[in-house]
Every structure is written in structure tokens, then in C-alpha cells.
Structure 1
Amino acid sequence: MTTTTSTPPLFSVVPAGIFGPLASANREHYWLLLCRLYEEFFGPDAPVPPSHGFPRREITAALERYLLADDPWEDEDGQGPDTPLGIRANAIHERFRTAGWLRQERIGAREMVSMPPPVAQLLSTLVEFSEHGPTFVSAKMRSIELQLQQVAEGQADGGTLDEAADQARRLLVSLASMSLQVRDLMPELSRAETTAQFARQWFERYVGQLFIGDYAQLHRADHPLARRSSILAMARQLEAGPRREALAAWYREHAAGGDEARAQARLARSLRRLHELERIDEYLARLDEDIRQANRRALAFLDYRLRAPDRLDVLLRRACRGVLSAPEDALRMPVAPGGLMDESRLRPPRVRPAPIPRSANATAPPTPEQLARLSLLRRIKRARLVTAEDMARYVGRHLEGADRVDSAQLAIASIEDLRAYQVLATLALRSHRIGGLRREDPLGRLLRGFRVELVDHGPDTGNDYLHGPRFRLMRTGARPLESA
């Protein structure tokens, strides 16, 4: 299997056997020992370690202390719980050293132990992942916006841009995985033995651990999620503005080793990750639907538990034991004598009565004039109706070969064009209000492959039919609008 340039190599950074202890029968114990060693010796909360490491005896003594409170282990490699404590501690140390978690060097007559920096960073990431709680979208969006403001104003360099792009990617990954966690939790909660246990797990795990920390405020106008348009505007400004050359120079000097192509690719990757925030509404809509389904299932389960007879399983087991121990005569079915499937016991076919002939209230067929008026009314309603396909054809005709077009350049040659222009002006006004266009707005379904932006400065525009605000159409996808 060959690796591509887009896939970062993992085992060229960390040792190849790094996950061996965490895949063994005692993986829980090995993980606990690694966390304790990291917390006491190599982590950020521990004292600053010596540059040459710790003596081996100090590490094995700490392992012996841990083993006193973590016994017994499963028998592995001949090291059972009855093996002396010192031998087991040295065997665990040797396992960590062989796997690459610890590095042992001889300095003079002493053997010193340290943890390689890439391994320490990997362990810190694993600890952070295991301690991950609810996502706070507000703090992440505010942090991304402030960092982009510093970059746009020239107060920060490409490192800050990289950090903002990584935060945007982690936010989207967190929202994408949240739906899967909600769906996976329901079968586990359904196995609760009692109603009280189900309710406790529901509120402790579902609400307290899996929900977005500020989910209740996501749809408010003053939430930082409404600042998404500002973040995207700054990303477009960095992409095409005067700051792009300075950022490319920083990447060329610090991240690409003087290679111009690699610097431009690194800058384009960071900007592309920021542009992915346009899809955050899709993730939130899917999360809302998953949460609604989870709520319905939980309410149905609680309703069943509360309405079902108490100790139903005990009653069923008692009935089964009674059937198995009852005599044969007592198990006869309570039915009358005779054949159960005889044709005389079948219900006779149902005869439908003949319909009563109507003698009054006869309807007269419409006249040709009425039919013509009805057809004309349908054509009038259809001409005034703007569908997504109609909007895609109208916008695609003007955005063909261009990425943006001003409202003054939009042509109106028919009633359909006039209605499309009116809808675009309405979308521009609604998207300009605080919080942007509402996700439940029915006009939002017409935005396929493009978006509408109200132009604050400049006079209003007009044509032979309408006089309204000035707005701008911008393409958001690479595919043709007619097929969007």
C-alpha cells in the first residue's frame, strides 16, 4: 500500500509498536500506568524533568507503588499476580521501553529514563481525547474570529492563521461526530433494567456529556455563530487582499523551506478549512434531527415503562413455570367442540349493497370559457411561482463565466425574471439582518450554488419595473448552477 502526499505519515513520527501495550489483555492497566507516569513525571502538571531524564530505579519504584493499588492483573508473558513486585515493575518498564513509550539511555554508570517528545505529545492528545466533554461552539467561533481579525489587521502571522484553520476543522469534526454519538447512545440506554436507571443515565450521559454545552443559545441572534459571515468575509479578504503576499512569504520562510509551491499550497489549505464553516448549518440541521429522534425514542421508552405492569418479567416467568408443571388436561384450549378450521365456522362473504342512483344535484360540465379562465389562472400562478430550478436557470444565466455579479447587471425580460429578481432582493434583505438568514426560512432552499449579499454602501439600484436595494450574487460552488 502506497501513501499519498495528502496522508501524513504516523509511524515515521512515533515508534511502530507504540500501541502494543494498549492492545493487550491488560490494556486498561497499562493505560492507567501511562497516565500516572505522565502526570507525575512527564506531563505539564509535573515538576520540570531533568534534561538527562530520571533514574531507572525512580521509575520502577513508582510502578511498584502503582501496582500495590492495581492488582491483580491477567497473566501475561508469565508475569502473574504472584510474581514479586519488583520483577513485575521491571517487566512493565521493559514493555514500555520496547514499545517506545519510554527511552532509556546510559549516562556514566547510571541508566536514565525519559519520554520522547513526540510520544509525550501523543499521550497528551489521548488524555485530552478521553477527557473530552461537551463542545462549546460559542467559545470556538469567538476564538476563530479574534485570530482572523489579528491576521487581517497585520498583528499576527501565518501561525495564527493555521491555528484558526485547525480550530475550524476541529469544530466541524466535533459537530459531525456528535450525531453519531447520539445515535449510538440510544440502544445502550434501552438496555437499562429499571426506569430509574434509564432516566438517570439519560440525563447524566445524554444531556450532561453529549450535548453541545451552549446548544440552547445556538439559534439566538447574538450568538457568535451568527458571526460566521464575518469570518468568511475575512477569509475571502485574506485570500484576495494585500495580506496574501505577506502570509505566503511567512509560509515560504517558516513552513515550506523556501519552496513557493508548497507555501501557496499550505496557505490555500488553511483558507479552505476556514471556508468549510459555510457547511456548519448542514451539521447543525442533522444534529437537530438526530436529537429530535432521540427525544422521541426516550419519551416512548419512558411512556412504555410507566404504563407497563409492574414486574411484568416476573409474571411471565411465573406463567411459563405454571404451564410447564401443569397436567395435560389443564392445558386444553377453552374452545367449543368441533373443527377449528371447518368451512361452516368461516364468516360469510360481505355483500356490498348496490349504490343508490342519483336523481338530483347533477353537475354540469364547465364551459369552454370557464376552462380557458382556469387555464389562464394556472399559468398566472405558475409564472409568479419561483422554484429552485427557475432560480438556478436565472442566476446561472448571469453568473456564467463569472464568480460574482451586481444587481444592476441582472436583466428582466419576462414575468419569471421579474419574480426571480424580487426573490433575490428579499433574500438580500433577510440575510442582512442580525443572525443572517434563518435556517427555517423557506426561501433558503433556493440558494443552491450561490449566495446573496446586500451591499451597504452606494445608492439603491432600479430598473424599468422595480426600485430597491443594491445586492450582489456570488458563486459558492464549482459545479454549474443548473445542476445544483
Structure 2
Amino acid sequence: MSGSDPTPALFAHLPDGLFGPLASPNRLHYWSILGRLYAEYFGPDAPLPPSDGYPRRELTGAIERWLISDDPWEDDEGESPDTPLTLRANAIYDRLRAAGWLRQERVGVREMATMTQAVGLLLGTLWDFAERGPAFLGAKIRSVELLLRQVVEHDAGGDALDEAADQTRGLLSHVATISVRVRDLMPELIKAGSTAQFARQLFERYVTELFIGDYAQLHNADHPLARRTAVLGLVRDIEHSDHRTRLLHWYQERTPGHDAERAAWRLERSLRRLRELDRIAEYLERLDEDIRQANRRALAFLDYRLRAPDRFDVLLQRACRGALAAPESALRLPVAPGPLLDESRLRAPRTRSRPIPRTANVTTPPTPEQLARMHLLRQMKRVRQVLPEDLARYVDRHLGGRERVASDELAIDSIADLRAYQVLTTLALRSHRNGGLRRDDPLRRMLRGFDVELDHRARTANHHLDTPRFTLRRTRHAA
């Protein structure tokens, strides 16, 4: 792998053939054996394992015990294996050891088996993924905010900052994948054999398993998700204060060789992940649209299944078989005697009446003065209309290469500049409400690569307006 490849080197930490048993025809059975070994011997709920590991015979005996109580294994022909139980348990153990799930060492005359830390961590992650249910975003946001307050108010180290960054990244990943799971589930639900089965699967899987646990409260002003503005404010405090120097020194002390460049990279990575919390509104907008579309499809399907006759295809097949098997005298159509498709019974062709000839209205071309007045009126309307690209050009003209600029530095040289300044003032006032700008606010689309922060304690007065002071902050490069 080249040094420029950003993909993490997974198999630098794991054995190459680790996923072999989980890709075999008996993958479900191997997963069951691994889950039981993890739960009883190597997992967090198991007793503390010995430092040398467990004797091989103890693990193979446990596999024998599980096969006696539950033996779903089948050979290539679909029959239960007739190999003795002890040999089968040892074969399963050897397959897991050869793949790298278990490591065997000889201690004296005994063969001891352990599970490496990397493999145990991967198995725990897979276990958590299989048991994952709906997430509660409010608790995650509160946790991130508390960790950042520990850094700002109590001088916590970079470990708290890294943990907050990892939780933010996990939160965004979870919200982003919910939409994909919703879209993948609906075609599967429509394959249900009956209306009752569809309704049961809809509420059991679609509602209870996939939805965010506190989804109904996400749009409330008092929900912790509305405090993402406060979280981003704490990130800016860390980024533009003495805390940055302190954290940089903390990372450098704990970096091999006290590498200052790598310490700065680690700090910037954590701050970048925390700043990505500003994008959660985009993810939630897409999730709302996917959920609305899934609800419409589910309601349309239920409406069709409830209105259509039960087993309609079966009734049609039965009618066709009856018509083919019935005697000729029984097949009578409810029509009068005589030819059924005679030309005299056909409807006469429709004749179209000729259109009335139209004469063009006499038009008088506008005079040069009228044309000039219309052109001037269009220019006046366009100058007073502020589009997202107009506002982006006005902001970029003042930001330039800087990250922040106050409203005191904004120039008003034309009517277009005055209208752009008024829109920025409106954005600053609306963003100061609880929860910031609502997702359905039409002014939200005006924010392209920048954000507006209100300072209600100060005011900005120029030759045209006297408004509360605000600050423009670049969030990303505008497209």
C-alpha cells in the first residue's frame, strides 16, 4: 500500500485468513461458536482469563458441549455428520486457530489457547454491530458537550478531545447510514405474503429497529441536538485560545519522539471531526425525506392490499381453468343474438370540425422610451433581489483569505450591497434563536461556505443602517 493511500491497513493488525470461517457455507455455525467462546471465555462479561490462556482441552470440551445441546451442522449433502463428536470439536477448534481467531502456545507440556487483543476487539465490535438498536442522539450530543466543557473549563487533556471527536464521527455515520437502511428495507417489506405480515414487519423492523430512539423530539427547541451551536462554539474557543497551545503540548508529549508535526496533525484531525457536527442538519434533512417517501410507499401498499380482493391472482386462474373445462353450452356471453363484432355495431368515426380561421391581432411595437423604462424596471428589481450566489460574492469579497470578518468592516457601495447587508443581518437575528436556523427556513440555502454569528451586546452603525453587530465566519470553500 502506498503512503498516499488514506485507507487504513486492516490486515496489518489482523491475520489474512481471519474471515475464512465466516465466508464458508457453515458461516452461521462458526459465528455461533465464536459468539459463545467470546461470551463465556474472552468477552467483557466472562471471568478474567488466565495470563497463559485456557487449556486447549477446556475449549474443545466446551465446543463438544454446545454440539450436544444444539447441533445444526450439515455436510455437503445436507445430512448430519457421522464423525465422532470429539473429532468434530477438534476440527472446529483447528479451523478457528488456523484462521487466527485463537492463538495456541505451548506452556510446559500443556497447549494453552488465547485470543489476541486485536481479534478480541474486532469480535466485540462485530458483536455490538449485531446487537445495535435505535440510537438516542440527544445523549450523544450531551456527552460530546460535556467532554468539550471538561477541556475548556477544567483543562482536560487531548484524550477527552479525541473521545468527543470519535463520538461525533460515530454519530454522523449512524445518521448517514439510517437513510440507506430505510431504502433497502422497503422493497423487502413489499414482498410480504399478506397484509397482516406486511403490517407486522413494518412496525417490528421499520419503526422499532431502524428509527432513531428520540426521532420525534429532534425538532424541538429544547432537544440537545439544538445545542450543536453551543458545541461548535466550544470548538472555536479551543481553536482560537490558549487551549490550543496547551493541547498541542499535551499531544507532543505523548507522541513517539515528541514529533511536533504529528502532534499538530492529531489535534487538527480531532477539531476537524468536531466541526463536521455542523453538517448533521444536512443528514437529517435527507433522512426526513427518505422517511417521508418510505411512509408514502407503505401507506400506498397497505391501501392497495386492503382495497384489492384477497387472492386476486388465484381467482383469475380459477376462472380461466373453469372456462377451459366448461362445456360449450355453459359458455354464454350476456349479449344479444347476432354478430358481436359486426361493422354496423362499430362506432362511426369522429369527424373533426374545421378550425375557425384566426387573424393575428394588430400589435404596436413599443417606443424607445417604453423599452428603456421596461429595461430600467427590470434592473431595479434585479438589484433588489438577493440570490445565494449574490450573497456569496459579497461575503467572499470581504472575507478574501481571512477566516472571520466583523460587520463593522463590511462596505456598502451600492443598492446591491445594502440588500446583501440586510440579508446578513436577518440571518444573524434568526440564527440567535433557540436551535439556530430551522431546517425549513428559506434563508438557510443562502449560507454557502460561511456562517453568521450574532453579538447582541454590540451594534454596528453606518451611513445607512444601525444594526446589531455580527461576524462572518468561513466554514468551507464555497462551490
Amino acid at match of 2:121: Q
Deviations 1:230-254 (A, max 9, x none): 2112222222321112212222222
Deviations 1:152-197 (A, max 9, x none): 2243211111111111111111111100000000000000111111
Cα distance, 1:287 vs. partner? Answer: 0.3
Cα separation, 1, equivalents of 2:67 and 2:358: 94
Which range is displaced more, 116-125 or 247-256? 247-256
Match runs of 1:122-133 below 5 Å: 122-133=122-133
Match runs of 1:19-418 below 5 Å: 19-75=19-75, 81-326=81-326, 337=339, 345=346, 347-352=348-353, 354-355=355-356, 378-418=378-418
Cα distance, 1:384 vs. partner? Answer: 2.4
Cα separation, 2, equivalents of 1:198 and 1:96: 40
Report the counterpart of residue 16 of structure 1 in structure 2. Answer: 16
Q: Which runs of 5+ in 2 are unaligned?
A: none
Provide the TM-score with structure 2 as the length reference: 0.91
3-state SS, counterpart of residue 470 of structure 1 = strand
Amino acid at match of 2:158: G
Which range is displaced more, 372-381 or 157-166? 372-381
Cα separation, 2, equivalents of 1:445 and 1:47: 56
Cα distance, 1:257 vs. partner? Answer: 3.6
Q: 1:300 to 1:421 in 2, by over 3 A?
A: same
Cα separation, 2, equivalents of 1:2 and 1:119: 25
Cα distance, 1:209 vs. partner? Answer: 0.4
3-state SS, counterpart of residue 292 of structure 2 = helix
Report the counterpart of residue 461 of structure 2 in structure 1. Answer: 462
Q: 1:120 to 1:343 in 2, by over 3 A?
A: farther
Cα distance, 1:346 vs. partner? Answer: 7.0
3-state SS, counterpart of residue 40 of structure 1 = helix
Provide the TM-score with structure 1 as the length reference: 0.91
Deviations 1:26-48 (A, max 9, x none): 10011011111111111111111
Cα separation, 2, equivalents of 1:471 and 1:350: 72
Amino acid at match of 1:81: P
Cα separation, 2, equivalents of 1:231 and 1:339: 78
Amino acid at match of 2:352: V
3-state SS, counterpart of residue 10 of structure 2 = coil
Which range is displaced more, 195-204 or 317-326? 317-326
| 8 A contact 1:72–1:81 mirrored in 2 | no
Cα distance, 1:70 vs. partner? Answer: 2.7
2:471 is equivalent to residue 475 of structure 1: no
Q: 1:381 to 1:343 in 2, by over 3 A?
A: farther
Cα separation, 1, equivalents of 2:98 and 2:178: 37
| 8 A contact 1:21–1:27 mirrored in 2 | yes
Cα separation, 1, equivalents of 2:351 and 2:378: 45
Q: 1:302 to 1:246 in 2, by over 3 A?
A: same
Number of residue pairs matched?
475
| 8 A contact 2:97–2:104 mirrored in 1 | yes
Cα separation, 1, equivalents of 2:290 and 2:232: 27
| 8 A contact 1:79–1:88 mirrored in 2 | no
Cα separation, 2, equivalents of 1:114 and 1:13: 16
Deviations 1:263-288 (A, max 9, x none): 11111111111111111111000000
Cα separation, 2, equivalents of 1:343 and 1:19: 77
Cα separation, 1, equivalents of 2:405 and 2:2: 45
Cα distance, 1:370 vs. partner? Answer: 7.7
Cα distance, 1:322 vs. partner? Answer: 2.6
Q: 1:461 to 1:318 in 2, by over 3 A?
A: same
Cα separation, 1, equivalents of 2:257 and 2:212: 40
| 8 A contact 2:229–2:435 mirrored in 1 | no
| 8 A contact 2:105–2:112 mirrored in 1 | yes
Cα distance, 1:391 vs. partner? Answer: 1.1
Which range is displaced more, 370-379 or 391-400? 370-379
Q: 1:320 to 1:255 in 2, by over 3 A?
A: farther
Deviations 1:133-157 (A, max 9, x none): 1121111111111111111224321
Cα separation, 2, equivalents of 1:469 and 1:366: 50
| 8 A contact 2:29–2:72 mirrored in 1 | no
